[in-house]
Structure 1
Amino acid sequence: MKAALLREMLGESLREQRFALGRTLREVSSGARVSLGYLSEVERGQKEASSELILAICTALELPQSELMRMVSEKLLKAETRTQNQVTVAA
């Protein structure tokens, strides 16, 4: 199993929040003042978002950065736990 990457967990969490709000990529990209294509790449974990861009996206989603970081932290913890369990079972 591949290691979890922060950019992937961040993008996944942003996409989940956007879906939960019923917002389109176009709406959020416009609100965050970032291109639709770039936002799509961030959501897919293909681009590393700067802290300024994360703030802009969170603002467009009306999502506190602290809440986003909590969501990402929980995802990373689950992924790390799965990886550790697989290593223990394989040993």
Structure 2
Amino acid sequence: MTVLLREAIGDRLRHARTNQRRTLRDISRAAKVSLGYLSEVERGQKEASSELLASICEALELPLGELLNNVAADISALESVDVATMPERQGAEERGEQPERREAAGSLEGGRLVDGVIGNDLADLRVSTQRMGPALRTTISAPKMVAA
């Protein structure tokens, strides 16, 4: 599964904002960026420039380096997880078998995997950090397949 950087960054920004119980409007005003554009950045639909990321991070009182470190840890965690592919999982379900799922192994710099079963979707990945507080449950989904 390919993880897009803009999606991982957007997810971390949304997580930081919601942990602070702040609204999109509050952050958009503080960062001097339109509310709609900030929403698209959080949903991973727009690729934010470095200047815009710095402005959003400043509004969130989140060091840009910490954001990038956490995003790198999220992506590294996904790359180290070995799981069955979607067709294999679907075939197993059709045969009435439990799809194979494996536990993630290893530690992450900048974050740690929460004990539990990890699947092949970012929605199954939970990462926590000391500064960010409660465990992050990402909302990024796998890229949509287009029929040829």
TM > 0.5: yes
Q: In structure 1, what is the Cα distance between the partners aligned to 2:58 and 2:20? A: 13
Please state how far the C-alpha of 1:86 moved relative to its aligned partner.
Answer: 3.2
**What runs of 5+ residues in structure 1 fail to find an aligned partner?**
none
Aligned twin of 2:25: 26
Moved over 6 A (4+): none
**TM-score, normalising length: structure 2:** 0.55
The structure with higher relative contact order (CA 8 Å, sep 6+) is 1
Match of 2:83 in 1: 86
Structure number, greater radius of gyration: 2
For structure 2, list consecutive stretches of 5 or more residues without a partner in the other structure.
89-148
For 2:64 and 2:56, the matched residues in 1 are separated by 9
Distance 1:80 1:44 in 2: 21
- Equivalent-residue separation in structure 2 for 1:45 and 1:27 (angstroms): 19
When you count helix as a share of all residues, which structure comes out higher? 1
**Aligned position for 2:55:** 56
The match for 2:16 is 17
Q: Distance in 2 between matches of 1:18 and 1:41?
A: 14
Q: How many residue pairs were aligned?
A: 85
Could you list the per-position Cα deviations for residues 7-66 of structure 1 after superposition, in whole angstroms to 9, with x for gaps in the alignment? 000000000000111110000000000000000000000000000000000000000001
Question: Which structure's residues are more often strand, by fraction?
Answer: 2
Give % identity.
53
Q: TM-score, normalised by structure 1?
A: 0.88
